[in-house]
Chains A and B, each alone.
Chain A
Amino acid sequence: DTGVSQNPRHKITKRGQNVTFRCDPISEHNRLYWYRQTLGQGPEFLTYFQNEAQLEKSRLLSDRFSAERPKGSFSTLEIQRTEQGDSAMYLCASSIFGLAGGPLRSGELFFGEGSRLTVL
């Protein structure tokens, strides 16, 4: 399977604990995005990377949230001191963007199946 992979698919934790989610993008994709989706709502942008550089962060991404993509491949999203309001589906997506010796390519986002977080 060469799609976007997210782990774990489900995480139940107690308030105050730290959790970490991992995303493995499609291998040739240089952009990676994190979104959060709560029940009955559309996904909300959190942050995105181009290669290893984090280019944009939403105001939704509080100080308790940190995302990394150290080698420009997989990414992790860590939530420290979880709160009940953090309960949501965390979606990862990847895309290809850039010149690469030809016309500017701006590809669609491919989404993973998400990591569902429940904070008790």
Chain B
Amino acid sequence: AQSVTQLGSHVSVSEGALVLLRCNYSSSVPPYLFWYVQYPNQGLQLLLKYTSAATLVKGINGFEAEFKKSETSFHLTKPSAHMSDAAEYFCAVSWGSGSARQLTFGSGTQLTVLP
């Protein structure tokens, strides 16, 4: 079965430090990949998406992610964490025509930013 795995349900970093949130997928077919962020009591907001163009994708709020087919990974990074980055982050995958008609989400990673 196709699946998405986010390694680490909780990640803590100091303000100004590198943020690295890991996402791996299982599929023999190249997927479409997304990262969403969810702040408390809010809906999900799209950070960035990979749809078979450039393998390095830049998103909002200084985040970026790199698609590595050989590693079946799509890790999310940000060079310098800010307190406002504290939230839950979800990696999601869609297979098929590119329409995000049915996203499969990972279980999420809660990011804490320490002062």
Please report A residues at the B interface, Cβ cutoff 8 Å.
4, 31, 33, 40-45, 48, 55-56, 91, 93, 95, 97, 106-114
A106 with B43, Cβ < 8 A, contacts A42-B108, A43-B90 known = no
A113 pairs with B99, CB closer than 8 A? no
Q: Which of A40, A55, A56, A109 contacts B100 (CB 8 A)?
A: A109
Find the residue from B43, B103, B104, B106 having the highest chain A CB count within 10 A.
B43
Contact partners of B104 in chain A: CB under 8 A: 45
Residue of B with least CB distance to A98: B99
B46 proximity list for chain A (CB < 8 A): 108-110
The reply to whether B43 and A91 form a contact with Cβ atoms under 8 Å apart is yes
- Beyond A91-B43, A91-B44, A108-B46, is A41–B101 a contact (Cβ under 8 Å)? no
Interface size class of B (residues with CB under 8 A): 20 to 34
- A20 CB to nearest chain B CB (Å): 19
Chain A residue, CB-CB nearest to B105: A42
A113 lies within 8 A of B107 (CB): no
Q: Tell whether B84 is near chain A: CB-to-CB under 8 Å.
A: no
Cβ–Cβ < 8 Å partners of A56 in chain B: 101-102
Instruction: State the B residues within 8 Å of A (CB).
Output: 4, 9, 34, 36, 41-46, 49, 90, 92, 97-108
Which residues of B are found within 8 Å of A95, using beta-carbon distances? Answer: 99-100
8 A-B contacts (beta carbon < 8 Å): A42-B4, A42-B108, A43-B44, A43-B103, A48-B102, A55-B101, A106-B100, A108-B46
Mostly helix, strand, loop or mixed at chain A's interface?
A: strand
Tell me how far the C-beta of B50 lies from the nearest C-beta in chain A, rounded to whole angstroms: 12
Extra contacts, 13 of them, besides A40-B108, A42-B105, A43-B90 (Cβ < 8 A), are A31-B101, A33-B101, A41-B107, A56-B102, A93-B43, A95-B100, A97-B101, A107-B100, A108-B46, A108-B49, A109-B103, A113-B41, A114-B43
- Interface pair B97/A106, CB less than 8 Å apart: yes
A102, B75: Cα distance in complex, Å: 33
Q: Nearest chain A CB to B51's CB is how many angstroms away?
A: 8
